[in-house]
Structure 1
Amino acid sequence: MMIDLYGFGPALAAGALMTVKLALSALCLGLLLGLLGALAKTSPYKPLQWLGGTYSTLVRGVPELLWVLLIYFGTVNLMSALGEYFGNPDLTLNAFAAGVIALGLCFGAYATEVFRGAILAIPKGHREAGVALGLSKSRIFTRLILPQMWRIALPGLGNLFMILMKDTALVSVIGLEEIMRHAEIGVTVSKQPFTFYMVAALMYLGLTVLAMIGMHLLERRAARGFTRSTQ
């Protein structure tokens, strides 16, 4: 039996594409923030430790929805001031950019702890071996620490990405036309809430399954050359 979407099928498909773009953009920002946060928290310098700890604690202590609203509405005056300075009084932060910043900020706070745990799981002897070989600190990090950290952190990051994929629905409250926004419009027009919300749920489920498959392939690739001891 075909589901009657009252002509909103193409709109929902476009919403799915927007959801993927939003999730991947936020993922890139979040990975960068998470790595920087983890390096700060594992740094021997107290100010950097404090900065990394404050970031992860502050962001994780506030719901993601509030971050979306705070960043979107809280930047109005700032963007207006910048617009006037550069001669563009209509300068604003669009919903997509606000969503990327908010979701990337939240993803990065949780990824900070995942990366930190991965860094601490690497034996200190590996760093000492790099020093003994005469490698610089940057080469020790890029050649020895980063590949191992990535392999250890990947399962945790995969779980965070699943959450991020579903959290994209929060950005619908500021008008971004992703899956939930188009589903809400379809409900308003058709008065069929169950149909549209069920289709939205199936679309999110499909995207999550695809993401799970992708993460599984990445984990297999990252694990090449490593053997697990069986006891």
Structure 2
Amino acid sequence: MQAGYVVSVLAAGWITLALAFLSLVLAVLIGIAAALAKLSPSRALRWSAALYTSLVRGIPDLVMMLLVFYSLPALLNEALLALDIDAYVEFSPFVAGAATLGIIFGAYMAETFRGALMNIPKGQIEAARAYGLGRFRIFWRIEVPQMTRLALPGFTNNWLVLAKATALVSLLGLQDVMFRARGAAEATGQPFTYYLLAGAFYLALTALSLWVLTRIARRFEAGVKVLGR
């Protein structure tokens, strides 16, 4: 019986991993877009990006998640009803969780990417323009590689926090590691055992992530000269 619960908890790990990686992809895409908006010459884009990051970082993650899962569908359904449209909107815990985490950590990624882009020497951009490179080619071939290297420390911290934050989605009913651990703890009366198992899973995930990202960072730093050394 105990082995069955352990297997059940660990088997839900793929759901947690899928949720974390999908949220990460959304966060990176949103973060890059918001970072570019903050550095845009357009005042409207700068203000919109600043408003987004300020609001998201000022609202607790759980509150944001509950708003997306419960309040947003209710609001959309009321709008559809008012427009006499025969449709019903409902989000699954997985979709709501991934979208919410993507939005939340997109705000943090935006600051990470903005700082990285600002630290790229402007002389390189001016030289690329002098050679006739277009804006997209400059961004893809010059800014992105350097932004990746400069943003990796902040990206790593954001990813580690995001991976642990996936546990919040269990409150929406997603059958992830935390949800299964809570069910096993209640069924067996051994909360310490199964919450410790869930903690070990997240610890292993963050430790492996840190190991991989540290080696990626070293690879990007290869051949880079640091002034003063």
TM-score by length of 1: 0.91
Matched, 1:109 2:107: yes
Distance 1:224 1:60, change over 3 A: same
1:73 maps to what in 2?
Answer: 70
Structure 1 CA distance for aligned equivalents of residues 79 and 6 of structure 2: 39
24-33 or 178-187, larger mean C-alpha shift: 178-187
2:141 maps to what in 1?
Answer: 143
Distance 1:59 1:184, change over 3 A: same
- SS of the equivalent of 1:8 reads helix
Answer whether contact 1:5 1:196 (CA < 8 A) is retained. Answer: no
- SS of the equivalent of 2:224 reads coil
* Partner deviation per Cα, 1:57-89 (whole Å, 9 max, x = no partner): 110001111111110002322554698888654
Give the Å deviation of 1:17: 1.2
Give the Å deviation of 1:133: 0.6
Give the Å deviation of 1:227: 3.3
Correspondence for 2:18 among 6, 13, 21: 21
- SS of the equivalent of 2:12 reads helix
2:130 maps to what in 1?
Answer: 132
Answer whether contact 1:29 1:104 (CA < 8 A) is retained. Answer: yes
Correspondence for 2:37 among 37, 40, 50: 40
The residue correspondences of 1:39-188 to structure 2 (distance < 5 A) are: 39-78=36-75, 80=77, 89=88, 91-188=89-186
Answer whether contact 1:186 1:196 (CA < 8 A) is retained. Answer: yes
Structure 2 CA distance for aligned equivalents of residues 78 and 13 of structure 1: 36
Structure 2 CA distance for aligned equivalents of residues 138 and 186 of structure 1: 52
Structure 1 CA distance for aligned equivalents of residues 17 and 2 of structure 2: 21
1:195 maps to what in 2?
Answer: 193
Aligned length: 227
Answer whether contact 1:6 1:190 (CA < 8 A) is retained. Answer: no
Structure 1 CA distance for aligned equivalents of residues 136 and 62 of structure 2: 37
Structure 2 CA distance for aligned equivalents of residues 221 and 96 of structure 1: 34
216-225 or 23-32, larger mean C-alpha shift: 216-225
Identity across the alignment (%): 39
Structure 1 CA distance for aligned equivalents of residues 161 and 85 of structure 2: 38
* Partner deviation per Cα, 1:5-56 (whole Å, 9 max, x = no partner): 3521222122211111110000000000000110011111111110111111
Structure 1 CA distance for aligned equivalents of residues 85 and 144 of structure 2: 40
- SS of the equivalent of 1:108 reads helix
| AA of the residue aligned to 2:158 | L
TM-score by length of 2: 0.92
1:7 maps to what in 2?
Answer: 4
Give the Å deviation of 1:222: 2.5
